[in-house]
């Protein structure tokens, strides 16, 4: 999957990506550590384009590998990543990863939270309850469970619903290599809402067909997050990696 993501980044970013990659010293007072938490159906390489931009600027970037087996398991993976950091850390989640950072983000090392096209539950809310109460979307309506209750998006719908702004061959390949999310994770409520006590930032994707833009705005406004709108799909962390990285850099300066 890493090759697919990097291919997408290369096709979409081209020379502009390379031109923006020259390293410079980090701003005074910036958090040096960035921990990136991926969403359902993909792995940690979905963050690679953003990670590459931030690493080349001098940040210490960690990609969390969520097992997607339960909320507790994904939170534990994120907490292990946080434990390995030295100093202030920006914790970032995409999609389902927003649920994970909401639970894991009360770590004292976490200086700010960034939600990218992400769910941001309140205490007692689960991904399932949010999905049922929010606006219906093409991607949400195409989620299917196998005989074990593991969830994926119908591969025929995935390209248009999740990644309409990726090259079709890459979107189709991602659709056919999905990592399932356990129904146990889908149904688990959070016990902590870390966004209540941290500076919050939200990247709102206006063409999103998985998590409705109206729902994203509700989450962001409830958190009183600083909102950045990106004209892109649910895959904007790849397609608009530079814009997402810029928001993370702003979060690194939050106090």
This prediction has a pTM of 0.92
Q: Please check whether residue 166 lies inside any domain of the structure.
A: no
Domain extent at residue 107: 2-10+31-135+180-252
The per-residue pLDDT for 210 is 96
The per-residue pLDDT for 18 is 37
The per-residue pLDDT for 171 is 93
Q: Please check whether residue 16 lies inside any domain of the structure.
A: no
Which alpha helices (DSSP H) does the chain contain, by range? 2-19, 48-56, 71-83, 96-104, 127-133, 138-141, 158-162, 168-175, 183-187, 213-223, 236-239, 241-252
Q: Please check whether residue 25 lies inside any domain of the structure.
A: no
Q: pLDDT for 30-48, tens place per residue?
A: 999 999 999 999 999 999 9
Q: Please check whether residue 23 lies inside any domain of the structure.
A: no
Question: Facing residues of 151 across strands?
Answer: 145, 181
Residues of the chain under the 70 pLDDT cut? 1-24
Angle at CA of residue 247, ends 243 and 253, nearest 5°? 145
Q: Please check whether residue 229 lies inside any domain of the structure.
A: yes
Q: Please check whether residue 19 lies inside any domain of the structure.
A: no
Q: Please check whether residue 170 lies inside any domain of the structure.
A: no
Say how many domains are in the chain.
Answer: 1
d(CA 215, CA 76): 27
The per-residue pLDDT for 129 is 94
Q: pLDDT for 55-88, tens place per residue?
A: 999 999 999 999 999 999 999 999 999 999 999 9
The per-residue pLDDT for 5 is 52
The per-residue pLDDT for 8 is 53
The per-residue pLDDT for 10 is 45
Q: Please check whether residue 165 lies inside any domain of the structure.
A: no
**DSSP secondary-structure letter at 8?**
H
The enclosing domain of 234 has a CATH number of: 3.40.50.1820
Q: Which residues of 67-87 are buried (b: 16+ CB within 10 A; e: fewer)?
A: ebebbebbbebbbebbeebee
The per-residue pLDDT for 14 is 41
The per-residue pLDDT for 23 is 41
Dihedral of alpha carbons 118, 217, 151, 9, sign: negative
In which residue are the tokens 């940690």 written?
44
Q: Which residues of 231-244 are buried (b: 16+ CB within 10 A; e: fewer)?
A: ebbbbbbbbbbebb
């Amino acid at each position: 999957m890493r090759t697919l993501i990097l291919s997408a980044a290369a096709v979409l970013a081209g020379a502009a990506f390379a031109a923006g990659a020259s390293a410079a010293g980090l701003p005074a007072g910036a958090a040096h550590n960035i921990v990136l938490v991926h969403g359902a159906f993909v792995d940690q390489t979905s963050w690679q384009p953003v990670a590459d931009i931030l690493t080349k600027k001098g940040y210490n970037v960690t990609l969390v590998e969520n097992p997607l087996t339960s909320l507790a398991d994904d939170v534990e993976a994120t907490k292990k990543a946080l434990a390995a950091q030295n100093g202030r850390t920006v914790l970032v989640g995409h999609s389902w990863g927003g649920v994970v950072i909401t639970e894991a983000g009360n770590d004292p090392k976490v200086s700010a939270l960034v939600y990218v096209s992400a769910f941001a539950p309140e205490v007692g809310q689960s991904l399932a309850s949010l999905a049922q109460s929010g606006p219906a979307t093409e991607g949400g309506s195409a989620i299917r469970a196998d005989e074990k209750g593991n969830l994926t998006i119908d591969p025929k719908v995935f390209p248009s619903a999740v990644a309409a702004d990726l090259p079709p061959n890459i979107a189709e390949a991602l659709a056919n290599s999905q990592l399932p999310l356990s129904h146990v994770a889908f149904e688990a409520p959070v016990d902590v809402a870390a966004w209540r006590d941290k500076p919050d930032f939200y990247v709102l994707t206006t063409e999103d067909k998985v998590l409705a833009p109206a729902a994203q705005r509700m989450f962001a406004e409830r958190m009183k997050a600083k909102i950045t709108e990106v004209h892109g799909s649910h895959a904007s962390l790849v397609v608009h990696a530079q814009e997402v990285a810029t928001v993370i850099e702003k979060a690194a300066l939050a106090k």
